[in-house]
Structure 1
Amino acid sequence: GQFNQVPLITGITRDEFNWRAQFLLTNSTYVNRINNEFDEIAPWEFHYPREPRRVSKRISAALKQFYFNNQPVSNSTEEQLGWLYADSIIIFSVWQAARLIAEKSSAPVYFYKFDFDGRYSYRYRLGTQIPYGVGHHDDLIYLFYIKPFFPLFNQTDPEAYMVNTLTSTYANFAKTGVPTVPDCTQQWTQITKNHLQHLNIAKPPTMKEGLPYPDRMQVWDSQLPIGGPYHQIFY
């Protein structure tokens, strides 16, 4: 492929965009439409082909069965709806891209899942200051001082552990091309076509076999496989 073959770190946060569910479920118009017009609404909401119709309906049926067991979307399915948003907006695309780049690149690809529950987040549960999981961009809180939203952490704050972990890891990677992770007893090893693994970034960081959420990713991959006829449309 025509791309710069350089060492790459890529990955996801644990919950990504699952916070969208709590807001959307307060909207009765959304709930009615997603339940009564799923085949029409879902491709727009969850980023998969709308044409040809038979393919779109096939994907809709597979997702509705897997995430909701063909039950109506409601407050009782908030978690499932959240995962569907997380998977469709970010997780599946990153999952596929990492595998494809690792297969085609001569340089190593390293995959992570950011899994650190901190006091701060870009999204909180409605009416509280309780983080809604580990959401999209929450890893950046520990890499950069984001003054409009978060305090400047010092070494006595509980966030200091993750600040030191992430900044040291990325500094090592920038200097050497190898991401050496503090407080991790294992080397962060690259993914290959035949060996998928990832670094779970928590306290402490640990290596895990496979890529995150294999069951959910298998559903998406079965409908939109790399190299399949509708893969290009999806992107």
Structure 2
Amino acid sequence: MIKSPFEIISKGEFLQIPIITGFVDNEGTIRSEELIESSWLHKMANSFTDFLQSDLKFESNEEREEVAHNIKTFYFDDEEINMHNINEYIAYHGDTMILVSSIRESRLRATSSTAPIYLYQFSYKGSLGESFEGPIPVESAGHSEELGYLFPELQTTDYISEMDLTVADILVERWTNFAKDGIPTSESSQIEWLPFTAENPHYLRVLNRDEISESAGTLEVDLINPHVEKVNFWNSIYEDHFLDAESKWEITTDAGDDYDELIFNQGKETPRNEDDNDVGVSRTEDNGEENNENDNAHEEKEGDNEDEDIEDDNEGEDNEDGNGEGED
């Protein structure tokens, strides 16, 4: 049985290695195009329940409506959702997709991890992040803008300030040292990046430009307990309504380590198309009985292939399998 990410992390059944995770101030800019091209503001105003997360469960429509009302009130204060509260729109989508999830994951990992966890918040708004900017302007960093400082060669502007370069130098130095020895140090920074733990949930915040001048030139600060109000709010929601991704996919094989014979069985019947035979996918009833028609078709295909074709198929499946590497 393939376990859900939540179950794996909860039980500490992941590779115990140092990890860096984090977020920017305005992660919700990832949904900028939907606002403009798909009228999401209008759709959210008409049916906010359609925008609740898929990992929430409800016993009734009334309960669903009540939770949706509480969430809408938390972000929009019962005001009409329109162009006047775009910042709230960005906050809602950023929190539910990335920001709150990153913090909750860090807390969950911290309860069972023997390796350090490093959490960051990137706020800096400069020229190197311009290539990642969306159609909605924001005052501090939007989704993925920190990548412009980790990979400054991606910049699309002719003007780069000294402060931009300093931020880039610190980030590149931290990430490089982390890749070498698992500790994100930087000799260019005055701040030590402390690990996030269950007892002391530290995180590093890269300040925005207007904040830097107020802090005597310090570009970063060490903080603790990120976004307490938001995290507590969502913890209260998930405490009663969390729906784990209870995967029912099983891997079975009749041919040892032969990738070409792997069959993936799902615990509920869904429509099957002819392409399933090409990848050895078999969908079953809840009682676990295999789809013999799919197995026979797969065996016939294997018998018709020449050795060279089989090697090519296996190589392709190996490559597909490799795309999943890097997960917990």
> Which range, TM-score by smaller chain?
0.7 to 0.9
For the Cα contact (< 8 Å) 1:20–1:85, is it kept in 2? Answer: yes
Instruction: Give yes or no for the alignment of 1:214 onto 2:228.
Output: yes
Residue matched to 1:160: 165
CA RMSD of aligned residues (A): 3.0
Q: Secondary structure at the match of 1:91?
A: helix
Q: Supply the AA of the counterpart residue of 1:64.
A: K
Deviation at 1:134, TM superposition (A): 0.7
Q: Secondary structure at the match of 1:138?
A: coil
Structure 2 vs 1, CA of residues 47 and 158 (structure 1 numbering), >3 Å: closer, same or farther? farther
For the Cα contact (< 8 Å) 1:48–1:234, is it kept in 2? Answer: no
Residue matched to 2:45: 35
Structure 2 vs 1, CA of residues 95 and 76 (structure 1 numbering), >3 Å: closer, same or farther? same
Alignment partner for residue 141 of structure 1, among 138, 148, 170? 148
Alignment partner for residue 6 of structure 1, among 12, 17, 33? 17
| 1:108-187 mapped onto 2 (5 Å cutoff) | 108-119=116-127, 120-121=129-130, 122-125=132-135, 133-145=140-152, 147=154, 150=156, 158-187=163-192
Deviation at 1:108, TM superposition (A): 0.8
Q: Larger radius of gyration, structure 1 or 2?
A: 2
1:122-180 CA deviation, whole Å, 9 max, x = no partner? 12455xxx666311111111112554x636998x7542112211111111112222111
Deviation at 1:52, TM superposition (A): 3.8
Deviation at 1:13, TM superposition (A): 1.0
For the Cα contact (< 8 Å) 1:199–1:206, is it kept in 2? Answer: yes
1:12-54 CA deviation, whole Å, 9 max, x = no partner? 1111124635861x56954443222222x222xx444264445
Residue matched to 2:89: 81
- Paired residues in the alignment total 223
Larger RCO (alpha carbons 8 Å, 6+ apart) = 1
For the Cα contact (< 8 Å) 2:152–2:168, is it kept in 1? Answer: no
Residue matched to 2:244: 232
Q: Supply the AA of the counterpart residue of 2:22.
A: G
Structure 2 vs 1, CA of residues 210 and 184 (structure 1 numbering), >3 Å: closer, same or farther? farther
Structure 2 vs 1, CA of residues 31 and 234 (structure 1 numbering), >3 Å: closer, same or farther? farther
For the Cα contact (< 8 Å) 1:62–1:219, is it kept in 2? Answer: no
Partner Cα separation in structure 1 for residue 18 and residue 233 of structure 2: 29
Structure 2 vs 1, CA of residues 32 and 17 (structure 1 numbering), >3 Å: closer, same or farther? closer
Deviation at 1:230, TM superposition (A): 1.9
Q: Supply the AA of the counterpart residue of 2:97.
A: I
Deviation at 1:101, TM superposition (A): 0.8
Deviation at 1:103, TM superposition (A): 1.1
Identity of aligned residues (%): 22
Deviation at 1:195, TM superposition (A): 1.4
Gaps of 5+ in 1: none
- Structure number having the greater helix percentage: 2
Q: Secondary structure at the match of 1:110?
A: strand
Partner Cα separation in structure 2 for residue 207 and residue 108 of structure 1: 16
Partner Cα separation in structure 1 for residue 200 and residue 41 of structure 2: 41
For the Cα contact (< 8 Å) 1:47–1:88, is it kept in 2? Answer: no
Gaps of 5+ in 2: 1-11, 213-218, 248-328
Instruction: Give yes or no for the alignment of 1:71 onto 2:79.
Output: yes
